[in-house]
């Protein structure tokens, strides 16, 4: 365990940024935290979390995959992807650290998604333990410990200090370069206990996953409550775009006039044109599309991933849905919660 004073944080950021691009949550002019490239003057946000998740670092909303040029009968295919340089993401919360594991299980299994893998290899994650969780947080439901977030390096924040501990080899390598003072873990344990007490008081502290899991398709699929739960869903996709674990994308071609650029962009199961193919749409009504999002997180994903749920309890969809319908309400209605 290493210690630094909170006042010296900019010097530490500067040191990290010497070797790699550093991103961290910083408030924009609306007062919302956004992952921002650090340079002198960029201030680390006090907000609990960013509106958009750090998923963008590994699975960006839009990315160019390749380009084609045709001349007569010849097609030239160009690899136009941008090779990632090393980068560091600082300030990631425990829920979002879990989201990377959830995405890894999709993108890194055979056949491995080389675009994603490339970014994962180049990105170092410095997590920061939560001290002021929100009412919309329910990471605990998925056995995520907000006081011990993981990643390559974990940081704990107290009134005036930061405590650092590395969890991986590359984390240790980076940490050793920061020349921080060694220390015991008393202060961290004290802070953990404080946060733990708050986590237990949160309104969603007792939300549980009873009634969900890989074997629950039959029990849940035809439940009549889907209709009422989804009745005012706008199908807007905000929930999927702010979600750190939503992983669906579309691949499209953009004809620039002299070449065709093939790119991928996030897609949403909430959209009427989602996976529209030659045979048409496979989910014709909003009830079916709505059900898909939650069944994927709470049933299909765990079915394919050793029982791990596809939600990290970050609460973004809870706070951003225009009609305040979300996974918590779905779980309370369909699961074993009172």
Partner 1 sequence: MQKITRDVLVSKAISLLEDGNVSHVLGWRKGEFDYDITPSVFSEKEDIENNFVWNDFCGANFSKYLVQKTRKLEGKILVFLKPCDTYSFNQLLTEHRFDRDNVYAVGIPCEGMADISKVKKICGEGISSIDFDGDNILVNTVYEDAPIVIDAKSVLSERCINCKSKKHVAFDELIGEEGEIIESGRFDEVEKLEKMTPDERFEFWQSELSKCIRCNACRDVCPACTCEKCVFDNPKSGVENKAPANSFEEKMFHIIRAFHVAGRCTDCGECSRVCPQDIPLHLLNRKFIKDIDNFYGEYQAGAEVGSRAPLVDYTTEDVEPSDIFEGRNG
Give the binding site for ligand SF4 (CB under 6 A). 48-49, 93-95, 130, 133-134, 137, 139, 146, 233-239, 242-245, 270, 297, 311-317, 321-323, 325, 327
Q: Which residues of 92-113 are buried (b: 16+ CB within 10 A; e: fewer)?
A: bbbbbbbbbebbebbbeeeeeb
- From ligand SF4, partner 1, none, interface partner of 139 (C-beta below 5 to 8 A by class): ligand SF4
Select 91 or 171, whichever has its Cβ closest to partner 1. 91
For the bound state, the minimum distance from the C-beta of residue 93 to partner 1, rounded and expressed in Å, comes to 12
* 42 touches 33 (CB < 8 A): no
- From ligand SF4, partner 1, none, interface partner of 95 (C-beta below 5 to 8 A by class): ligand SF4
* Interaction residues for partner 1, span 218-257 (CB under 8 A): 228, 231-232, 234-238, 241-242, 250, 254
- From partner 1, ligand SF4, none, interface partner of 52 (C-beta below 5 to 8 A by class): partner 1
Distance CA 136, CA 203 (A): 8
Residue with the two structure tokens 């491995």: 112
- Strand ranges across the sheet with 62-71: 74-78, 62-71, 260-266, 249-255
For the bound state, the minimum distance from the C-beta of residue 93 to ligand SF4, rounded and expressed in Å, comes to 4
- Nearest Cα neighbor of 310 from 63, 105, 15 is 105
Q: What is the CA radius of gyration of the chain?
A: 21
Beta strand pairing call for 123-128 and 87-92: parallel
- Strand ranges across the sheet with 181-182: 33-37, 21-27, 87-92, 123-128, 153-157, 161-166, 2-5, 181-182
Give the contact letters, 254-273, x = binds to partner 1 (CB under 8 A), - = no. x--------x-xxxx--xxx
* Interaction residues for partner 1, span 123-152 (CB under 8 A): 132-136
Select 295 or 327, whichever has its Cβ closest to ligand SF4. 327
For the bound state, the minimum distance from the C-beta of residue 77 to partner 1, rounded and expressed in Å, comes to 20
The CA–CA distances, whole Å, from 181 to 10, 127, 239 equal 16, 19, 42
Look up residue 148 and give its two tokens: 């011990």
For the bound state, the minimum distance from the C-beta of residue 153 to partner 1, rounded and expressed in Å, comes to 25
* Among 10, 21, 32, 305, interactor with partner 1 by CB under 8 A: 32
* Among 5, 28, 176, 189, interactor with partner 1 by CB under 8 A: 28
Residues of this chain that interact with partner 1 (CB under 8 A) are 28, 30-32, 48, 51-52, 61-62, 132-136, 198, 201-204, 228, 231-232, 234-238, 241-242, 250, 254, 263, 265-268, 271-273, 276, 318-320, 322-325, 328-329, 332
């Amino acid at each position: 365990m290493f210690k630094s004073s909170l006042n010296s944080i900019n010097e530490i950021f500067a040191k990290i940024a010497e070797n790699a691009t550093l991103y961290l949550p910083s408030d924009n002019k609306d007062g919302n935290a956004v992952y921002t490239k650090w340079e002198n003057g960029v201030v680390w946000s006090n907000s609990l979390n960013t509106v958009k998740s750090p998923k963008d670092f590994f699975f960006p909303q839009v990315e160019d995959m390749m380009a084609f040029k045709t001349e007569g009968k010849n097609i030239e295919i160009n690899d136009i992807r941008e090779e990632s340089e090393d980068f560091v993401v600082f300030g990631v919360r425990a829920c979002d650290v879990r989201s990377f594991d959830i995405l890894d299980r999709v993108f890194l299994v055979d056949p491995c998604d080389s675009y994603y893998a490339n970014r994962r290899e180049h990105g170092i994650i410095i997590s920061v333990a939560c001290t002021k969780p929100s009412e919309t947080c329910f990471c605990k439901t998925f056995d995520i410990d907000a006081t011990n977030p993981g990643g390559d390096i974990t940081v704990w924040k107290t009134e005036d200090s930061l405590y650092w501990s590395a969890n991986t080899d590359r984390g240790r390598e980076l940490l050793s370069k920061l020349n921080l003072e060694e220390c015991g873990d008393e202060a961290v344990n004290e802070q953990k206990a404080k946060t733990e007490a708050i986590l237990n008081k949160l309104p969603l502290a007792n939300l549980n996953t009873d009634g969900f899991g890989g074997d629950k398709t039959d029990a849940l699929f035809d439940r009549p409550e889907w209709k009422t739960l989804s009745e005012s869903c706008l199908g807007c996709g905000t929930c999927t775009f702010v979600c750190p674990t939503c992983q669906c994308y579309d691949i499209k071609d953009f004809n620039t006039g002299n070449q065709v650029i093939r790119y991928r962009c996030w897609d949403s199961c909430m959209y009427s044109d989602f996976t529209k193919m030659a045979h048409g749409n496979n989910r014709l009504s909003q009830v079916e599309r709505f059900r898909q999002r939650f069944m994927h997180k709470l049933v299909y994903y765990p079915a394919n991933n050793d029982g791990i749920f596809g939600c990290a309890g970050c609460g973004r969809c809870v706070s951003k849905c225009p009609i305040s319908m979300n996974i918590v309400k779905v779980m309370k209605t369909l699961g074993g919660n009172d």
